[in-house]
Structure 1
Amino acid sequence: MKGIFFACILFLVTTLLLPIFILNSCDMEVPLRKSTVVEEIRESDMKIHVYNHETKKIMELYLEEYITQVVAAEMPGSFELEALKAQAVAARTYAIWRQNIYGEEGHPSHPGASVCTSHAHCQEWLSLEELTNRHGKRWVEEYLPKIEESVLSTAGVIMTYNMQPIEPLYHSTSGGKTENSEDVFASALPYLRSVSSPYEERSPVLVDQKEVSIEAFINSMRSKNRDIQINRNNIASEIRILERNQGGSIKNIQIGNKTFTGSEIRQLFELRSADFSVDVSRNHITFTTRGYGHGVGMSQWGANGMAEEGKTYKEILKHYYQGVTLSKLTSYQ
Structure 2
Amino acid sequence: MKNPLAVLATIVACSISIPILISVVSYDDIEATPKVDSKPIVQTIKKKTKQIANYETVDKKSPVINVYNHNLGKVQQMDIEEYLCGVLAGEMSAEFNLEALKAQAVAARTFVMYKEDQGKQSKHPNAVVCTDFKHCQEYKSYEYLKKKNGEKWMQNSYSKIQQAVKETKGQIITYNNKPILTLYFSTSAGKTENSEEVFAQSYPYLKSVDSPYDKNYSPKYTSALKMSNKDFVHAFKVGYSDIQLSENNLSNQVKIIDKSNGGSVENIKVGNKQIKGTDVRKILNLNSANFDLSFKDSYVDISVKGYGHGVGMSQWGAEGMAQEGYKYYEILSHYYTGTTIKDLY
The code of the aligned residue for 1:53 comes to H
Higher mean Cα deviation, 318-327 or 275-284? 275-284
Equivalent residue for 2:146? 132
TM-score normalized with structure 1 length:
0.85
What secondary structure is seen at the aligned counterpart in 1 of 2:201? coil
AA at the equivalent of 1:185: F
Q: Distance in 2 between matches of 1:80 and 1:306?
A: 9
Name the SS of the counterpart of 1:110 in structure 2. coil
1:258 Cα shift?
Answer: 1.2
Q: Does 1:213 align with 2:222?
A: no
* Deviation of the 1:286 alpha carbon: 2.6
- Whether the 8 Å CA contact 2:95–2:157 is kept in 1: the answer is yes
Per the normalisation by structure 2, the TM-score is 0.82
Q: Give the total of aligned pairs.
A: 298
1:86 aligns with 2:103: yes
Distance 1:254 1:59, change over 3 A: same
Amino acid at match of 1:202: Y
C-alpha separation in 1, matches of 2:117 and 2:331: 25
- Are 1:296 and 2:311 matched, yes or no? yes
Q: CA deviation at 1:300?
A: 0.3
Map of 1:316 onto structure 2: 331
- Any stretches of 5+ residues in structure 1 without a counterpart? 9-24, 32-40
The 2-side partners of 1:283 and 1:134 are apart by: 44
Deviations 1:39-92 (A, max 9, x none): xx8x61101111111111111001111111101110110111110010000000
Query: CA offsets per residue over residues 252-307 of structure 1, 9 Å max, x none?
Result: 11111211111000011211100011122333223211111100000000001000
Match of 2:263 in 1: 248
Q: RMSD over aligned Cα, in angstroms?
A: 1.9
Is 1:76 paired with 2:90? no
Q: Which residue of 2 aligns with 1:14?
A: none
> Secondary structure of 2:289's partner?
coil
Question: Counterparts of 2:269 and 2:342 in 1: how far apart (Å)?
Answer: 45
Relative to its length, the structure with more helix (as a share) is: 2
Deviations 1:81-110 (A, max 9, x none): 1100100000000001001112xxx41112
Q: Cα distance, 1:209 vs. partner? A: 1.4
CA change 1:63–1:44 in 2 (3 A) is same
Quote the residue 2:66 is aligned against. Answer: 49
Match runs of 1:1-333 below 5 Å: 25-26=53-54, 28-29=55-56, 44-102=61-119, 106-200=120-214, 201-329=216-344, 332=345
| Alpha-carbon spacing, 1:232–1:123, altered in 2? closer, same or farther (3 Å) | same
Runs of at least 4 residues off by over 6 Å: none
Contact 1:73 1:131 in 2 (8 A): no
- Determine if contact 1:170/1:299 at 8 Å carries over to the other structure: yes
Contact 1:172-1:293 at 8 Å conserved across structures? yes
**Structure-2 separation of matches of 1:300 and 1:277:** 23
Q: For residues 159-183 of structure 1, give each alpha carbon's deviation from its aligned partner in whole angstroms, at most 9, with x where no partner exists.
A: 1101111001000001110000000
Give a deviation string over 1:133-168, Cα, whole Å, max 9, x none: 444433222111111111111100001101111001
2:264 and 2:277 in contact (8 A); partners too = yes
Q: Is the 8 A contact 2:49 2:330 kept in 1?
A: no
- Which digits, 9 at most, give the CA deviation of each residue in 1:175-207, with x for residues without a partner? 110000000012111100000001112211111
Structure-2 separation of matches of 1:29 and 1:310: 22
* Letter in structure 1 aligned against 2:86: Q
Between 275-284 and 126-135, the greater mean CA deviation after superposition: 126-135
In percent, how many aligned pairs have the same letter?
A: 44
State the distance in 1 between where 2:234 and 2:177 align.
50
SS of corresponding position for 1:230:
coil
- 1:30/1:154 contact within 8 Å kept: no
Distance 1:4 1:199, change over 3 A: closer
